[in-house]
């Protein structure tokens, strides 16, 4: 099992450009999450999805959109990137119920110039 995978690993954007961060998990987990990690701020939840077809806002959803394409995939889109979105983005999945352990991807380091 690959666990949680994310693409790309690194990305540099110019202000106003758009891009989609991809996340996939092969553990048959129902729940998936997108976080951003900033120095001194810890991990903050952007969006999450309890199951295919459902998404909910987290703590910092502004400037982002998400799509739960199927049970495996959960993508994060920046429509018009801003320098404030420079961060490391982590995707995670969780089985919920039996275990509330979240499994994290390796992260995407995004820089917006």
Partner 1 sequence: AQRVTQPEKLLSVFKGAPVELKCNYSYSGSPELFWYVQYSRQRLQLLLRHISRESIKGFTADLNKGETSFHLKKPFAQEEDSAMYYCALMNYGGSQGNLIFGKGTKLSVKP
Site residues for partner 1 per CB under 8 A: 31, 33, 35, 40-45, 48, 50, 54, 56, 58, 90, 92, 94, 96, 100-102, 104-107
Peptide bond connecting 8 to the previous residue in cis, omega within 30 degrees of 0 = yes
Nearer to partner 1, 35 or 64 (CB): 35
Strands (E), the chain: 4-7, 10-13, 19-25, 31-38, 42-49, 56-57, 65-68, 74-78, 87-94, 103-104, 108-112
Of residues 28 and 54, the one with the C-beta less far from partner 1: 54
Distance in Å, CB of 40 to partner 1, minimum: 6
Report the residue number, 35 or 74, with the smaller CB distance to partner 1.
35
Cα(12)–Cα(6) distance, integer angstroms: 16
18 versus 84: smaller Cβ distance to partner 1: 84
Could you tell me the smallest distance in angstroms from the CB atom of residue 19 to partner 1?
A: 21
- What does the chain come to in residues? 113
């Amino acid at each position: 099992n690959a666990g949680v995978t994310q693409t790309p690993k690194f990305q540099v954007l110019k202000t106003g450009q758009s891009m989609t961060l991809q996340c996939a998990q092969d553990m048959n987990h129902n729940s998936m999450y997108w976080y951003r990690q900033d120095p001194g701020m810890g991990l903050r939840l952007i969006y999450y999805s309890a199951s295919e077809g459902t998404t909910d806002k987290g703590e910092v959803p502004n400037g982002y959109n998400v799509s739960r394409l199927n049970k495996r995939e959960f993508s994060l889109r920046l429509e018009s990137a801003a320098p404030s979105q420079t961060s490391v983005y982590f995707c995670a999945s969780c089985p919920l119920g039996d275990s509330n352990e979240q499994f994290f991807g390796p992260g995407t380091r995004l820089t917006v110039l």
